[in-house]
Amino acid sequence: MNSPVPQFQIDETFQAGQRRYAVILAGGSGTRLWPLSRSSMPKQLLALNGAETLMQDTIRRVGNMVDPTRVITVTHNDYRFEVMGQLHTIHPHLADGVLAEPVGRNTLPAIAWATAKIAKKQPDALIGVFSSDHAVSDPVSFQRAWAEAERAAEAGYLALFGMKPTGPATGFGYIQAAESLALHGAESVQRVARFVEKPNLSAAQSYLKEGGYYWNGGMFVFRADHFLAMLERIQPETHAALAALTGDDSKVAPLDLYQSLPNLSIDYGLLEHADKVAVVPVDMGWDDLGSWEAIYQHRDKDEDGNMKHGEVVAVNSHNNLLWSEHGHLATFGLENIAVVQTRDATLVCPRDKVAELKPLVAKVKEKCRTLTETHMTVTRPWGSYTILEEGPYYKTKRILVNPGAKLSMQMHHHRSEHWVVIAGTARIVNGENEFFLEENQSTYIPKTHRHRLENPGKVPLQIIEIQTGPYLEEDDIVRFGDIYGRT
Amino acid sequence: MNSPVPQFQIDETFQAGQRRYAVILAGGSGTRLWPLSRSSMPKQLLALNGAETLMQDTIRRVGNMVDPTRVITVTHNDYRFEVMGQLHTIHPHLADGVLAEPVGRNTLPAIAWATAKIAKKQPDALIGVFSSDHAVSDPVSFQRAWAEAERAAEAGYLALFGMKPTGPATGFGYIQAAESLALHGAESVQRVARFVEKPNLSAAQSYLKEGGYYWNGGMFVFRADHFLAMLERIQPETHAALAALTGDDSKVAPLDLYQSLPNLSIDYGLLEHADKVAVVPVDMGWDDLGSWEAIYQHRDKDEDGNMKHGEVVAVNSHNNLLWSEHGHLATFGLENIAVVQTRDATLVCPRDKVAELKPLVAKVKEKCRTLTETHMTVTRPWGSYTILEEGPYYKTKRILVNPGAKLSMQMHHHRSEHWVVIAGTARIVNGENEFFLEENQSTYIPKTHRHRLENPGKVPLQIIEIQTGPYLEEDDIVRFGDIYGRT
């Protein structure tokens, strides 16, 4: 795995080696980062902290410690192809390790499913579980904490990462540490005294003053067999239901089996009832980037205190979050405002109110549902398409097909399509004919004709598609064959 | 002229009738309303106060008083086709009355040129001169003031509209009125005592308290022969230079002749030196809409004090100007901010600072010149085009051709074009071939092929054009024939 993350180097007397696994939780949904996050494109799949997405950042961090064949990523079926695509660009084996939930069931079932799968091959696996949508600025500290947590896991503990507080945060749960476990090579690891819900400000301030309190970042390490034993004791029904699920080898969980699992977080379902829980204090520049304000705080600002992304011109403006995904954004005399601009929607909100976006997003959804669900660019297993414009009787798209990818053999009842290749080479099936199209060549597909688009080449294929007809929705499609199993 | 403007009805003892002319000044430029106004699309050509543009509103107001054949519109040559197009939708004769300046020379040359043209046909014409970019909410009062001003003009005066102040405005020049002229049927008309530059606040407050002061809205009425005599006396060089210009019958002034005219406003060049100047006090809901704040103040607000235009969702937001030309705009907890969103640029600025946009626009221009010059939709004499997307080696446009309109016969050295008709019927010349294309039909024009696009029909023709090639700028065009004289 080609990675820019610095390598953690300590003289290890304990090496997890082939027993080290990582489970990445990538099923989260939510629209707290609307208009960038949408129900089809949650936070972990967005590039909020650099050039790659938060999930890709997570994988890079994990990638220096564990082989790609031992990384399991659990996501919702709706995000499956997007997740696989993002992982594939880092290492093809990562895409093979994607498990998809047909329905969200919170963290406990996701972790239990992945653990049971791993345990079938390696019962004493040391599994690190990581959120896919958090930021970590110091990957070496992350790696050191992981190695220390593994020693605690080997000693029978479920070992949590405890983030050293940098301020009296009220948005996170806290872990209070008790005595040291005195583990050789992991002296900082302590027993957990108690878990504390998100505190109010004065409580948070006293935790900070008192010391021994850490933010619960939802990252932990355990041994597969210890975890499953703990699950059997504390949640016997879940443990029993797992058996049927693990018996099925599919990477997409059958709906009936998965629905029978309880909707439970690992915190409420397991951690608060477990007896051997440890905390590894770590200062690794962690942030959950849970709102636009958190992103503003976490990211670099210019000399005027503006956090800028994309094409932005700010004059006499201070302490703003100015984020443009599409088009130019210009501000004058603006202070303490968050502006987030996408191809089809712009949010403008004072920074100190961006944590309360829910009623706004609900109102937007009421008015125009798609604005909260999809972007103008939609990912498909074969690549993506971007809607350039829609109008009465026509729709114009730019379609990007990845090298080697192939759309389904399909047919539409109500629309005809014109395709013009603007980059790469296409192999086309159009009715009875099969042929290649190069850049600057075109073809016309009348409605009811079977057709297929494929990129047989080594570089991305791009076409402009012009659809015409009285009905131009995505559900006017009859699939005859699809390498992604969508018929 | 089909107009929704209420008709002014008074028992006139004096009827201007066939001697009544209107000169509309539509040459103004400026970017105080950026990103909506651009150097190629100034304020008068924008729909800032309803469904039609300010210039169209002006023409509607004037239209109930004067025949379309007696309306002259003076504009800059850059805006000529846009102006003609906008006027044509109101009445074809209006488009015939467009005079174009090859270079801006302020108001005096524009008015003098139009007046000299009219005087050739009708020396005693009564000419009303009106800005094309102001708002007037009470057209009946406007019409009454015009009729009264004509009586003063007939009596030898240059008669200005004096807008009754509604507050201590510091953004306008003032006219101080002296004694009544005691004109029969126009008793309110007074002699002008003096002109006052834009005052400071305390001066403006004292004018308001004292009374007898009016805002100078730059609208006035005079008799053509009186005006020319006044010009000859006060600006003899301009008067002499006019002769050559009026000798030329072209509707586009020759550059050398026009450049020889002085760059002078009618205020400094004439009004302040004239002896017979009158003012007609009028309360007609006038506003110059000179900034986004002026537009906010002038337009209707919702119950939260938000002025909304386009697709806007505002929650817990108050007293904002929320203007979206393209895409959705959503605000939460926002107060006193102006947001103006177009297809390629968004402005966000506190309302109390929008009058000072110049440094911002200069900065934007430095970064991306076209953002201050053109919109993604560009008007042409035959219709318009909208850039949907540009990328390496391709550009996608939607092209709208008006019924009966015809693009030039042309050729490109560096780009090929694919055309798909999405609405209407096209007559096409493509190399040696000439043919019709209907909806859902397409053609391909290789580079260096002569081609022409025409709408022979009665409804607008729309095509999607996909250009491919290494150089895709507008200046790669060789024109062989053009009904708009652009070869």
What span, in angstroms and rounded, lies between the C-alpha atoms of A162 and A173? 10
Residue A3 has pLDDT above 50, yes or no: no
The separation between CA B318 and the C-alpha centre of its own chain, rounded to angstroms, equals: 31
What mean pLDDT comes out for the span A433-451?
Answer: 96
Model confidence at B10, pLDDT cuts 50, 70, 90, reads very low
Instruction: Write out the two tokens for A153.
Output: 């896991």
Residues 6 or more apart whose CB falls under 8 angstroms from that of A342 comprise A35, A36, A325, A326, A375, A376
What mean pLDDT comes out for the span A169-192?
Answer: 92
Query: Does B86 contact chain A (CB < 8 Å)?
Result: no
Determine the pLDDT at residue A243.
86
Residue tagged 């003892």 (tokens): B13
> Which CATH number among 2.60.120.10, 2.40.10.10, 3.30.2130.10, 3.40.50.1820 corresponds to the domain A377-481?
2.60.120.10
**Which residues of A fall within a CB distance of 8 Å from B424?**
none
What are the tens digits of pLDDT across the range A365-384? 999 999 999 899 988 889 99
Determine the pLDDT at residue B64.
84
Q: Taking CB atoms and an 8 Å limit, are A394 and B442 in contact across chains? A: no
Q: Taking CB atoms and an 8 Å limit, are B346 and A328 in contact across chains? A: yes
Q: Taking CB atoms and an 8 Å limit, are B396 and A418 in contact across chains? A: no
Greatest alpha-carbon span in chain A: 77
Chain A neighbours among B 428-447 (CB < 8 Å)?
439-440, 442, 444
Model confidence at B11, pLDDT cuts 50, 70, 90, reads very low
Q: Taking CB atoms and an 8 Å limit, are A368 and B328 in contact across chains? A: yes
Q: Taking CB atoms and an 8 Å limit, are A337 and B348 in contact across chains? A: yes
**Which residues of B fall within a CB distance of 8 Å from A439?**
393, 468
B479 phi/psi in degrees, rounded to 5:
-100, 130
What span, in angstroms and rounded, lies between the C-alpha atoms of A110 and A269? 12
What are the tens digits of pLDDT across the range B379-403? 888 999 999 999 999 999 999 999 9
CA–CA min distance A30, chain B (Å): 17
**Which residues of B fall within a CB distance of 8 Å from A311?**
368
Mutation site, A348, A365, A397, interface B, largest B CB count within 10 A = A348
Provide the sign of the torsion angle of the four alpha carbons B475, B481, B486, B487, taken in this order.
positive
Determine the pLDDT at residue A52.
94
Contact A315, B359 (CB under 8 A): yes
Query: Does A358 contact chain B (CB < 8 Å)?
Result: no
Q: Taking CB atoms and an 8 Å limit, are B315 and A363 in contact across chains? A: yes
Neighbours of A252 (CB within 10 A): 15
- Write the burial class of residue B261 (CB in 10 Å: 0-12 exposed, 13-18 middle, 19+ buried): buried
A84 phi/psi in degrees, rounded to 5:
-60, -40
> Which CATH number among 3.40.640.10, 3.90.550.10, 3.40.50.20, 3.40.630.40 corresponds to the domain B17-287?
3.90.550.10
For chain B, give the percent of residues with pLDDT over 90. 83
What are the tens digits of pLDDT across the range B105-150? 999 999 999 999 999 999 999 999 999 999 999 999 999 999 999 9
Provide the sign of the torsion angle of the four alpha carbons B157, B163, B168, B172, taken in this order.
negative
What span, in angstroms and rounded, lies between the C-alpha atoms of A428 and A435? 5
Query: Does B369 contact chain A (CB < 8 Å)?
Result: no
CA dihedral B24, B30, B34, B39 (to 10 degrees): 90
What are the tens digits of pLDDT across the range B409-418? 999 999 999 9
Instruction: Write out the two tokens for B127.
Output: 């000419």
What span, in angstroms and rounded, lies between the C-alpha atoms of A46 and A70? 24
Contact B101, B76 (CB under 8 A): yes
**Which of left, alpha, beta for A393 (phi over 0: left; psi -120 to 50: alpha)?**
left
Contact A296, A307 (CB under 8 A): yes
How high does pLDDT run on average in chain A?
92
Residue B12 has pLDDT above 70, yes or no: no
Determine the pLDDT at residue A2.
42
Model confidence at A6, pLDDT cuts 50, 70, 90, reads low
**Which residues of A fall within a CB distance of 8 Å from B449?**
none
What are the tens digits of pLDDT across the range A290-343? 999 999 999 999 999 999 999 999 999 999 999 999 999 999 999 999 999 999
Strand order in the sheet with B426-430: B433-437, B426-430, B451-454, B409-411, B478-481
**Which residues of A fall within a CB distance of 8 Å from B339?**
346, 348
Model confidence at A215, pLDDT cuts 50, 70, 90, reads very high
Q: What is the pTM of this model?
A: 0.90
Across the interface, of B327, B386, B444, the residue whose CB is closest to A345 is B327
Model confidence at A205, pLDDT cuts 50, 70, 90, reads very high
Contact B73, B97 (CB under 8 A): yes
**Which residues of A fall within a CB distance of 8 Å from B447?**
none
Model confidence at B17, pLDDT cuts 50, 70, 90, reads confident
Residue B5 has pLDDT above 70, yes or no: no
Peptide bond preceding B35: is omega within 30 degrees of 0, i.e. cis? yes
Contact B52, B79 (CB under 8 A): no
**Which residues of A fall within a CB distance of 8 Å from B394?**
422-423, 464
**Which residues of A fall within a CB distance of 8 Å from B468?**
420, 422, 439-440
Across the interface, of B311, B353, B392, the residue whose CB is closest to A332 is B353
HEC string of chain A? Answer: CCCCCCCCCCCCCCCCHHHEEEEEEECCCCCCCCCCCECCECHHHCCCCCCCCHHHHHHHHHHCCCCHHHEEEEEEHHHHHHHHHHHHCCCHHHHHCEEEECCCCCHHHHHHHHHHHHHHHCCCCEEEEEECCCEECCHHHHHHHHHHHHHHHHCCCEEEEEECCCCCCCCCCEEEEEEECCECCECCCEEEEEEECCCCHHHHHHHHHHCCEEEEEEEEEEEHHHHHHHHHHHCHHHHHHHHHHHHCCCCECCHHHHHCCCCCCHHHHCHHHCCCEEEEEECCCEECCCCHHHHHHHCCCCCCCCEEECCEEEECCECCEEEECCCEEEEECCECEEEEECCCEEEEEEHHHHHHCHHHHHHHHHHCCHHHHCCCEEEECCEEEEEEEEECCEEEEEEEECCCCECCEEECCCCEEEEEEEECCEEEEECCEEEEECCCCEEEECCCCCEEEECCCCCCEEEEEEEECCCCCCCCCEEEECCCCCC
Q: Of A168-177, B11-20, B69-78, B79-88, where does mean pLDDT reach its minimum? A: B11-20
Chain A neighbours among B 408-427 (CB < 8 Å)?
416, 418, 420, 422-423
Contact A313, B367 (CB under 8 A): yes
What span, in angstroms and rounded, lies between the C-alpha atoms of B160 and B217? 8
What span, in angstroms and rounded, lies between the C-alpha atoms of B316 and B331? 8
CA–CA min distance B326, chain A (Å): 8
**Which residues of B fall within a CB distance of 8 Å from A420?**
418, 466, 468
Determine the pLDDT at residue A250.
85
Chain A neighbours among B 327-346 (CB < 8 Å)?
327-335, 337, 339, 341, 343-346
Determine the pLDDT at residue A29.
83
Q: Across B288-382, where does the E strand assignment appear?
A: 307-309, 312-315, 321-324, 328-332, 337-341, 345-350, 377-380
Q: Taking CB atoms and an 8 Å limit, are B391 and A422 in contact across chains? A: yes
CB pairs under 8 A between A and B: 174
Q: How far is the CA of B161 from the CAs of B152, B277, B278, B342, in angstroms?
A: 11, 11, 9, 35
Q: Closest by alpha carbon to A461, among A421, A407, A417?
A: A421
3-state secondary structure of B83: helix
Determine the pLDDT at residue B263.
92
Query: Does B373 contact chain A (CB < 8 Å)?
Result: no
Q: Taking CB atoms and an 8 Å limit, are B327 and A343 in contact across chains? A: yes
Instruction: Write out the two tokens for B408.
Output: 């030039």
Query: Does B357 contact chain A (CB < 8 Å)?
Result: yes
**Which residues of B fall within a CB distance of 8 Å from A393?**
422-423, 439
Model confidence at B266, pLDDT cuts 50, 70, 90, reads very high
Determine the pLDDT at residue A1.
40
Residues 6 or more apart whose CB falls under 8 angstroms from that of A405 comprise A381, A382, A383, A454, A455
Residue A184 has pLDDT above 90, yes or no: no
**Which residues of A fall within a CB distance of 8 Å from B464?**
394, 396, 464, 466
Residues 6 or more apart whose CB falls under 8 angstroms from that of B367 comprise A313, A328
Residue B476 has pLDDT above 50, yes or no: yes
Determine the pLDDT at residue B2.
42
Q: Taking CB atoms and an 8 Å limit, are A442 and B439 in contact across chains? A: no
Determine the pLDDT at residue B3.
44
Determine the pLDDT at residue A13.
53
What mean pLDDT comes out for the span A433-446?
Answer: 97
Residue B361 has pLDDT above 50, yes or no: yes
What span, in angstroms and rounded, lies between the C-alpha atoms of A458 and A453? 15
What are the tens digits of pLDDT across the range A404-425? 999 999 999 999 999 999 999 9
Contact B428, B435 (CB under 8 A): yes
Determine the pLDDT at residue B92.
86
CA–CA min distance A387, chain B (Å): 10
Across the interface, of B316, B354, B363, the residue whose CB is closest to A313 is B363
CA–CA min distance B465, chain A (Å): 10
Domain ranges of chain A: 17-287, 300-356, 377-481
Model confidence at A11, pLDDT cuts 50, 70, 90, reads very low
Query: Does B468 contact chain A (CB < 8 Å)?
Result: yes
Residue B253 has pLDDT above 80, yes or no: yes
Q: Taking CB atoms and an 8 Å limit, are A349 and B339 in contact across chains? A: no
Q: Taking CB atoms and an 8 Å limit, are B330 and A468 in contact across chains? A: no
For chain A, give the percent of residues with pLDDT over 70. 97
Neighbours of B240 (CB within 10 A): 12
Contact B293, B280 (CB under 8 A): no
Instruction: Write out the two tokens for A396.
Output: 């114009």
Residue B301 vs residue B378, higher pLDDT: B301
Model confidence at B30, pLDDT cuts 50, 70, 90, reads confident
